[in-house]
Amino acid sequence: MPLFWLLATGFWIPFFLKGGLMDIFDYMNSGDYEQLLFSVDKSTGLKTIICIHDTTLGPALGGVRMWSYAREEDAIVDVLRLGRAMTYKSSAAGLDLGGGKAVLIGNPLKDKSEALFKSLGKAVDSLGGRYIATDDVGTAMKDLEQIRTTTQFVLGLPLHLGGSGDSTMPTAHGVVRGMQACAKEVFGKTDLKGKVVAVQGVGKVGSNVVRLLHEAGAKIIVTDINKAYVQAIVKETGAAAVDPDAILTTKCDIFSPCALGAILNSKNIARLRCQIVCGAANNQLEAENNGEEIQKRDILYCPDYIANAGGVINLALELTGYDADVSYEKIEHIFDTATAVIARSKKQKIPTSRAADLIAEERVAASRKLKPWFSGHSEH
């Protein structure tokens, strides 16, 4: 059965944002979005939404998130937020890539099939290279291999297929470099030895963050809704474990959110007992003013898309020829980017979240004067 395409260029979708009914075009206009693609395939069960936020700097790169959303409106909100964050991440990292995201509605534990991901690949391919897919929460490299059978616009493939392999360790490495930049500001040195770090979420990236922290001599506290993940990383590293509900109030030097987003809101920020927040999760702030609330508590926040850019830096090299040494050399500069964000925050007396946004927005704005949207048909 052919795919049915529903493109957001001439219709109105009522959905809920911040508790109120909103015209989707108003939201997209306010956030400078370019495109939103809805795709369904009854024969495979495909229900996916692809967001292209901005292609000023290049094709929109972003992961495919597979999740059992309670409401379709939640999926729309998620893909819009995540797509915009990818623009900021790539821009701040100095990459010639735009931002996008895909959400695949379904249970990643029981709804996956080869046909489903091939169908998703057709949806990606219909965009002609304006969006490039990679893995995210709920998807893995083997899923990307199936997507690759129906589109060339995929990054994060195994090394034997010309890809960069697993990007979770590069992502984790960048997070730790962000922590070190914050530690230098707060504690006067980059050394994390003896520092207490509470890691929320020990999945693909979070577990590697724990491993690197363990090598650095940090004292680690972990939690996850998946008890098996916790047991495995505790056995491997000797980390202490707490219940998921307790991690936010755990006394520590650094709180590292490495699970899902929107964990930092007005209520939870008031409960934090740390001096630094730096983690791998995307969209950690539930609302824009949360950055200011963190700052008022004298907690140094390393914006998520600054700290977790290691993965996208690693993936971007596939477009020009992957080299692991070059990748890690570039990821090291996350320390410099985080330091620049902190310096701008102090100079302008603004939250670090806003300082990071300004750095990303200024680069996009400068490029927008020189070239239009990326038109597609990228070769890689």
- Give φ, ψ of 12 to 5 degrees: -120, 125
Q: What percent of the chain has pLDDT over 70?
A: 91
Question: Average pLDDT of the chain?
Answer: 91
Please give the pLDDT value at position 2. Answer: 41
Hey, what are 304's tokens? 């998520």
Domain boundaries, the chain: 4-87+99-154, 168-358
Give the helix/strand (H/E) hosting 329.
helix 324-331
CATH of region 168-358, choose from 3.40.50.1360, 3.20.20.150, 3.40.50.720, 1.10.287.110: 3.40.50.720
Give the DSSP letter string of 126-167: TTTTSEEEEE-TT--HHHHHHHTTT-S-B----GGGTS----
Query: Does 12 score more than 50 pLDDT?
Result: no
**pTM score:** 0.86
CA angle 61, 65, 68 (to 5 degrees): 160
Please give the pLDDT value at position 373. Answer: 58
Q: Which of 47, 89, 101, 122 is catalytic?
A: 101
Q: Is the Cβ–Cβ distance between 285 and 291 less than 8 Å?
A: yes
CA distance 121 to 311: 21
Asked whether the domain spanning 168-358 has the same topology as the one spanning 4-87+99-154, the reply is yes
Query: Does 17 score more than 80 pLDDT?
Result: no
Query: Does 18 score more than 90 pLDDT?
Result: no
Lowest mean pLDDT among 9-18, 158-167, 217-226, 347-356: 9-18
pLDDT digits (tens, 9 = 90+) for 312-330: 999 999 998 899 999 999 9
Query: Does 16 score more than 70 pLDDT?
Result: no
pLDDT digits (tens, 9 = 90+) for 208-267: 999 999 999 999 999 999 999 999 999 999 999 999 999 999 999 999 999 977 889 999
Query: Does 19 score more than 50 pLDDT?
Result: no
- Residue 110 is among the residues annotated as catalytic for this protein: no
pLDDT digits (tens, 9 = 90+) for 151-205: 999 999 998 888 998 889 999 999 999 999 999 999 999 999 999 999 999 998 9
Query: Does 13 score more than 80 pLDDT?
Result: no
Query: Residue 75's closest CA among 112, 41, 40?
Result: 40
Please give the pLDDT value at position 8. Answer: 38
Dihedral of the alpha carbons of 325, 326, 327, 331, in degrees to the nearest 10:
100
pLDDT digits (tens, 9 = 90+) for 94-114: 999 999 999 999 999 999 999
pLDDT digits (tens, 9 = 90+) for 27-42: 888 889 999 999 999 9
CATH superfamily of 4-87+99-154: Leucine Dehydrogenase, chain A, domain 1 (3.40.50.10860)
Please give the pLDDT value at position 283. Answer: 87
Most confident range, picked from 11-20, 156-165, 338-347: 338-347
